[in-house]
Structure 1
Amino acid sequence: MREAGQIGQELAAAGQAFIGTHNQANVAIVRDYDNEWDGEYDVWHGPFMWKSNKEWYKALQRKHIPNDVLYLRKKTTLEELARYDVLIYPHPAIMTDETASLLDEYVQQGGKLIFGCRTGYKDERGQCYMRPFPGTAKDQCGITVEEFTMVKGSRQPTTISWSGVTEVVTGADDFNDILKIEEASVEVMAVYASDYYAGKPAVTKNRRGKGEVWYYGAVFNEQAAAEIINLIDLQSPADWLELPEEVELQVRTGASSSYAFLLNYSETPVTIHLRETKTDLLSGTTLSGEVLLEGFGVLVLN
């Protein structure tokens, strides 16, 4: 474990290399002030946002996919959104027509957009639209919400069965939107596997322009987030590296160099595997093949 003095020496020696670099993330978890404020009082979506953000973050970290947190504002531009291949916007109950239009532009030009339950049904005053759910997001998603129920009290959570080569079943936590397909471009990716709505669509994907919009009819858990990551083929940017779950990966890039920061959050040593020869900026050591990273250890590879 590094001591404060050693950390200072390492930063002094290596810090110049990072000037002008920026964090490399192709994925962003989207948040906004209106929904955070409204969610403090609305128990039908406020707690869901924090839970889903946390579960997505865990799923991305375990697969070593760096992500940003992007705050959506009225002045946010398409150029800012287009930096990302994937936007995860779990439960934006409040969504204006202007925001929906901006997100649709992002999708049309090739982006992937992922929504969760309770999307798009409120205006910026927190009042429900007189529109079929998911309100302003209906055209993007290509679905309507046929029925919904909150998992509360004596009611037990249902499950979701995902289509694919092998059947995967995950929990459908806290809330269930039962979806109705409205457009031919929509593909059902998973159905409810239990309760009276077994067989009804639970997760959909709508191909729109060059991109796609996903709608997940429950509150996200790590297993469901991981399944979507697999289905959209979202990969770690460091394909030259194999890491255990305990190690976080962050990448910074500049005009001519890229740096991979590896942080072992375990107190015990772990083994990582390098398919390419790299140099650790902190020690100056050349590394390749299997490398032992000490408990709470750090590597900065170039």
Structure 2
Amino acid sequence: MISTKIPKMIYGGDYNPEQYDRETMNEDIRMFKSAKIDFVRVNIFAWAISQKDEVSYDFQWLDEVIDTLYENEIKVGIGTGTAAHPAWLAKKYPDVLRTEFDGKKRKFGGRHNSCPNSLTYQKYASLFVKKLVERYQKHPAVLLWNISNEWGGACYCENCEKAFRVWLKEKYRTLDHVNKAWNTTFWGHTFYDWDEIVTPNLLSEHFGERHTMFQGISLDYARFNSDSMLECHKMEYDIIKKSLPDTIVTTNIMGAYKPLDYQKWAPYMDVIAWDNYPSIETPTSYTAMMHDLMRGLKNGEPFMLMEQTPSQQNWQPYNALKRPGVMRLWSYQAVAHGSDTVLFFQMRRSSGACEKFHGAVIDHVGHENTRVFKEVAELGEELDQLSDTLLNSRVQSKVAIVFDWDNWWAVEYSSGPSISLKYVDEVHKYYKALFDQNIQVDMIGVQEDLSQYEVVIAPVLYMVKPGYAKKIEDFVEKGGIFLTTFLSGIVDENDLVTLGGYPGELRHVLGIWSEEIDALAPEHTNKIVMEKEYGLLKDVYSCSLLFDLIHSEGAEVIATYGKDFYQGRPVVTKNKFGKGQAWYVASSPDDAFLQGLINEIIKEKGIRNDFSGNEPGVEITKRIKGDKTYVFVLNHNSDTVHIELSSVTGLNLLTGEEVFQSIELASYDVAIIEQSK
């Protein structure tokens, strides 16, 4: 972990000195040191600068950069540079270029424009990485290696089509198995030769990016595309690790980024590093969920906040400035959820091209007399004072939410039942209900052990992979509470419906049968009518989107629909199973209902947040390190707030003041309280 390599939380970010002269770089370093910046990433997009043709390599400029940084006690994350191939490579070897979803072959330009299955790209990328490793493997400035940059996109070229067939042969072995998995008897799609299989895009099975005639082939191509880029990542990872087995190798990823199954990528990242770019309107709870999702990729290990903007972004429709204090607040939010770094993109604003208006530590004016730089320097001073205090501390949770990329792809490739169903949005609804009550959450994949949790929530668990229903049954039987929702248990890992009645393999543990699924536009709502009081739940609530028409097969009916032809039919059920309970919520409920339901479930399991109340806009979470507990209190409000902390006493590490069961925080302010024993 990072904490084994350096004595404090590293601070800095992306630096591109190849865009400036050496005099500017020297002035930048002076300012970096004044802001306590001690780490930068370099060489992220510099392949073309160091290699002008097939055989010529010139790293003199990079030698000077890394040496100068080291002389000034600034550590380096060295990028492999392969996120953007050189123009000469595309000109001489056009097979390296991607083909788009509509079938158009790209020319040189942009970034991530390399076909991951181009043998030419793989050859020259690996040669370049080998040269970098040979040159810098012993340089004392290099703290970590950063492969590529924000892997992404998809390719539909002939390279990929051929590679897809090979991938399918490895997965299914025979065409008979492919035909069965994809249900190819539908619409006469039976395949008799591997070469008959083509890429699923607008030229074949798709009528839009989300709409496909054959979910099976599109789902497998999504898996293949993620795996293809992962193989390129692994190629570079193995080159670096062969020479430097003890170094840190990672890549910067992007939260809930749909094209890549990060749960499969995580074993090939020594530390999870991710780029956090919420807008001014992004719910605080959503950003928190992304941090938790990233932390969950490696079983709760601390992660790296690899990128965030010091102020505004450049690629959103409206690129608002971060208000004074917000950069600090959002930096500490990442730390509160498990980050052991605070890093930015970018260190100095570019003078041209598409990121010239993206925020930076050093603005176009070129000096430190700006609001943003002063805020960066103040945060740097605080992090320097914290030193290694928080490093490698952990977030501990008794509640988990299941998030699965295969399930996400399958839900949104499905032809029906609703175009308005968004998997991540439904997951966030349940996360927010916990977040608003300051209950810490682990975001986990289906491969994770459930025994460490008291409550497991799996919204829209449409796809049930082999063995997962049994894992859920064992969890509930031993006393856990499991909750899932409408459109769950419908299909297997190939997106084939599990016959015999919904919710398929979950029917036994849930004690229900879902006969039909009504889908209405989001503005059409129904009512959730409580059959009897359940804790604070006693009113009539609203629900929308999808409406499962379910029958109880032993489950207790907690609430029923209030109108339409299914008025009086169950909408919320609880099934006792062994020592535990399995809940089913048959529609998408309003926030008030979810808050009440979640509150009662966690209370039943003895889970509490240790704090007096839930002040709107105030986030409270904890990290634990040995016998030390650190309570983070974050005021996301633009006004001063008084917060009751009934069981918290200790020292606010950011101010040096003692805290006794309450605290007052100014707008966008933060406290980190080291609790007294």
Supply the distance in 2 between the matched residues of 1:65 and 1:181 (Cα, whole angstroms).
Answer: 31
Supply the distance in 2 between the matched residues of 1:182 and 1:289 (Cα, whole angstroms).
Answer: 48
Residue aligning to 1:253 = 624
Q: Map 1:119-138; keep pairs closer than 5 Å.
A: 119-138=488-507
Per the alignment, do residues 267 and 84 of structure 1 end up closer, same or farther by CA in structure 2, a change over 3 Å counting?
same
Report if the CA contact (8 A) 1:109-1:210 is conserved: yes
Which of residues 172, 179, 188 is equivalent to 2:550? 179
Deviation string for 1:265-284 (max 9, x for gaps)?
A: 11211110133432111122
State which structure, 1 or 2, has the greater radius of gyration over its C-alpha atoms: 2
Residue aligning to 2:569 = 200
Structure 1 unmatched ranges of 5 or more = none
Structure 2 unmatched ranges of 5 or more = 1-324, 329-374
Once the two structures are overlaid, the 10-residue window that deviates more, 63-72 or 45-54, is 45-54
1:9 alignment partner AA = E
Which of residues 165, 185, 188 is equivalent to 2:557? 188
Per the alignment, do residues 249 and 45 of structure 1 end up closer, same or farther by CA in structure 2, a change over 3 Å counting?
farther
Which of residues 379, 404, 417 is equivalent to 1:44? 417
Supply the distance in 1 between the matched residues of 2:381 and 2:450 (Cα, whole angstroms).
Answer: 38
Report if the CA contact (8 A) 1:26-1:85 is conserved: yes
Supply the distance in 1 between the matched residues of 2:466 and 2:505 (Cα, whole angstroms).
Answer: 6
Equivalent pairs counted in the alignment come to: 294
Higher helix share: 2
Supply the distance in 2 between the matched residues of 1:15 and 1:111 (Cα, whole angstroms).
Answer: 39
Deviation string for 1:66-85 (max 9, x for gaps)?
A: 21211223xx3xxx212221
Which of residues 501, 526, 531 is equivalent to 1:158? 526
Report if the CA contact (8 A) 2:516-2:550 is conserved: yes
Report if the CA contact (8 A) 1:113-1:214 is conserved: yes
Residue aligning to 1:95 = 464
Supply the distance in 2 between the matched residues of 1:243 and 1:232 (Cα, whole angstroms).
Answer: 17
Residue aligning to 2:87 = none
Matched, 1:239 2:610: yes
Supply the distance in 1 between the matched residues of 2:613 and 2:442 (Cα, whole angstroms).
Answer: 22
Q: Map 1:28-39; keep pairs closer than 5 Å.
A: 28-39=400-411
* Structure with higher RCO (Cα < 8 A, 6+ apart): 1
Supply the distance in 2 between the matched residues of 1:85 and 1:9 (Cα, whole angstroms).
Answer: 40
Supply the distance in 2 between the matched residues of 1:168 and 1:104 (Cα, whole angstroms).
Answer: 31
Supply the distance in 1 between the matched residues of 2:641 and 2:559 (Cα, whole angstroms).
Answer: 36
2:538 alignment partner AA = E
Residue aligning to 1:14 = 386
Question: In structure 2, the residue corresponding to 1:40 is in which secondary structure?
Answer: helix
Deviation string for 1:222-274 (max 9, x for gaps)?
A: 22321211331447744244341211112111221111111111121111013
How far 1:291 sits from its partner (Å)? 2.3
Residue aligning to 1:66 = 440
How far 1:151 sits from its partner (Å)? 1.3
How far 1:179 sits from its partner (Å)? 1.6
How far 1:290 sits from its partner (Å)? 4.1
Higher strand share: 1
Report if the CA contact (8 A) 1:55-1:220 is conserved: no
1:44 alignment partner AA = P
Supply the distance in 2 between the matched residues of 1:179 and 1:227 (Cα, whole angstroms).
Answer: 22
Residue aligning to 2:431 = 57
Supply the distance in 2 between the matched residues of 1:97 and 1:131 (Cα, whole angstroms).
Answer: 17
How far 1:5 sits from its partner (Å)? 1.7
Report if the CA contact (8 A) 1:261-1:300 is conserved: yes
Supply the distance in 2 between the matched residues of 1:284 and 1:45 (Cα, whole angstroms).
Answer: 53
Supply the distance in 2 between the matched residues of 1:241 and 1:7 (Cα, whole angstroms).
Answer: 29
Per the alignment, do residues 294 and 100 of structure 1 end up closer, same or farther by CA in structure 2, a change over 3 Å counting?
same
Supply the distance in 2 between the matched residues of 1:237 and 1:12 (Cα, whole angstroms).
Answer: 33
1:70 alignment partner AA = I
How far 1:111 sits from its partner (Å)? 1.3
Question: In structure 2, the residue corresponding to 1:51 is in which secondary structure?
Answer: helix
Once the two structures are overlaid, the 10-residue window that deviates more, 21-30 or 240-249, is 240-249
How far 1:133 sits from its partner (Å)? 0.6
User: CA-atom RMSD, angstroms?
Assistant: 2.1
Once the two structures are overlaid, the 10-residue window that deviates more, 274-283 or 260-269, is 274-283
Report if the CA contact (8 A) 1:64-1:236 is conserved: no
